[in-house]
Amino acid sequence: MSQMIATSKVKAIIGTGITGLSVARFLAAQGQAFVLLDTRSNPPNLEQIQLEFPGVTIVCGELDLHTLLACDEIIISPGVAVATPAIEQAKAAGVPVVGDIELFVRAAKAPIVAITGSNAKSTVTTLVGEMAKTAGINVAVGGNLGTPALELLNDAVELYVMELSSFQLETVSRLNAKVATILNISADHLDRYENMRAYILAKLRVYFGAENIVVNRKDVLTHPPMAAGIKPIYFGGNADFGSFGLITNEGTEFLAKNLTPLIATSELKIRGRHNVDNALAALALGDAAGIPMDAMLSTLKIFRGLRHRCEFVMEKDAVEFYNDSKGTNIGATLAAIQGLARDPQQLIVILGGEGKGQDFTELAPALRAINSRVVIIGRDGPIIAEAIGDAAKIVFANNMQDAVNKSFAIANPGDAVLLSPACASFDMFKNYEDRGEKFCLAVKELIQS
């Protein structure tokens, strides 16, 4: 779109999405020269970039190796793989490759709470942020959730609570967080990673340089290598010394620190057993970050969770409807199924979409264990049906309204219909939010019919 710049003292920003735009603004504020590259012929934010940065070189189309080699640092957006040939060649030639989180870490002056995991990142990140706000702490929340990391930077901030994806962590050298966690790990993004090991290694980078680490007692994949040298704080399972877990006192189940009861699970507003684990994780993170316990417990009593994450929608004829459209991988869907399943209630689970190369046979045992029924939509529906086999009764639907209607038709009073697709949404919807909104609208239309 513009000819190659002449100077070699320049940063290359790859990707013009919201992350790339935030990097451009950050570098411009520092007086740093940069060039923008995007593989798309008509990339997002192009007009905005031209308006904000007139005269800046923008190169669209296939990444040009000569342009990258002329730069002293490459800053890639999370959606761009480091394994892209031109980037790999530039890196091999000695050009550093980083992401916006590396720039953020270099500039941030306040402590960082770093949260990653295959599922529940957004819920726990938001919850810890709300706990800090309740305590009167000037907190900034974002990263992979909401506001890009570099736009959070402010000298007045006292605590950063950051949701981080594996893509963002790939290009971080040392995060140096006050407290870091991997909430859980299940198969995801295997269309980008060579194998599960590569995906796990990307997640483990969140622990690099951490002062405190919080790990899931029930998920060994979240545990750091022994060489990490830091005693972990555990969450989940039964409480004991050095952990946040569950304890029963006079017939009432409590969330506890060590063996001290803190709050009854019945007082939580977020639904499902998986959200009990999310609450425990938030308590462990907040405690390590210095958030007062009374503020955290007050927050837990009013926090109702996030949209599209096991969100209670409506009820018709004693059949409940739950929107878990953010369940875009098998691990998230398993957590939702196990979190909502309760005897004698039965679940009707709506599955389907773009499968991202996952092995859906992992769903079969959970579906069989609670005698679920399944309604399938989307492009990879036949693959899912074959993987599930006889583990559940299967019904196919043409669209979301059809899926909701058919789910209700096979439900009994006391049952629940759960949209937790275990798939990406782009075959039928703009994104998971659009899919969730369409589900809620379909439920509303069913109830009004």
pLDDT per position as a tens digit, 311-321: 889 999 999 99
pLDDT per position as a tens digit, 137-151: 999 999 998 899 999
Does residue 205 register a pLDDT over 60? yes
- The helix/strand/coil state of 93 is coil
> Rounded to whole angstroms, how far apart are CA atoms 134 and 63?
46
Considering 3-7, 168-172, 344-348, the range whose residues carry the highest mean pLDDT is 168-172
Whole-number pLDDT of residue 227: 53
In the chain, residues under CATH classification 3.90.190.20 are 311-448
Global pTM value? 0.82
pLDDT band at 2 (very low <50, low <70, confident <90, very high): very low
Does residue 1 register a pLDDT over 80? no
Q: How many Å is the Cα radius of gyration of the chain?
A: 23
pLDDT band at 343 (very low <50, low <70, confident <90, very high): low
Q: What percent of the chain has pLDDT over 70?
A: 96
Q: At what angle do helices 18-29 and 100-107 cross, to 10 degrees?
A: 40
Structure tokens belonging to residue 386: 């074959």
pLDDT per position as a tens digit, 242-291: 899 999 999 999 999 999 999 999 999 887 888 999 999 999 999 999 99
Average pLDDT across the chain, whole number? 93
CATH number of the structural domain 11-98: 3.40.50.720
Whole-number pLDDT of residue 231: 86
pLDDT band at 307 (very low <50, low <70, confident <90, very high): confident
Does residue 130 register a pLDDT over 90? yes
Q: Which residues are catalytic?
A: 121, 144, 189
| The pairing of beta strand 393-396 with beta strand 373-376 | parallel
- Least confident interval from 98-107, 205-214, 224-233: 224-233
Cis amide leading into 148 (omega within 30): no
Given this structure, which CATH class describes domain 102-300?
alpha beta
Does residue 353 register a pLDDT over 70? yes
Q: How far is CA 434 from CA 326, 351, 440, in A?
A: 10, 16, 10
Whole-number pLDDT of residue 119: 85
In the chain, residues under CATH classification 3.40.1190.10 are 102-300
> Rounded to whole angstroms, how far apart are CA atoms 22 and 63?
20
In the chain, residues under CATH classification 3.40.50.720 are 11-98
Residue 248: Cβ within 10 Å count: 13
- Region 290-298: what's the mean pLDDT? 98
Structure tokens belonging to residue 316: 């018709």
Q: Which CATH number fits domain 311-448: 3.90.190.20, 3.40.1190.10, 3.40.50.1820, 3.60.40.10?
A: 3.90.190.20
Does residue 5 register a pLDDT over 70? no
Q: Which helix (H) or strand (E) covers residue 247, if one does?
A: strand 243-249
Extended strands (E) in 355-427:
373-376, 393-396, 416-419
pLDDT band at 383 (very low <50, low <70, confident <90, very high): very high
Whole-number pLDDT of residue 310: 85
Residue 66: Cβ within 10 Å count: 9
Whole-number pLDDT of residue 269: 84
Whole-number pLDDT of residue 6: 42
- The helix/strand/coil state of 324 is coil
Q: Closest Cα to residue 409, out of 348, 356, 368, 355? A: 348
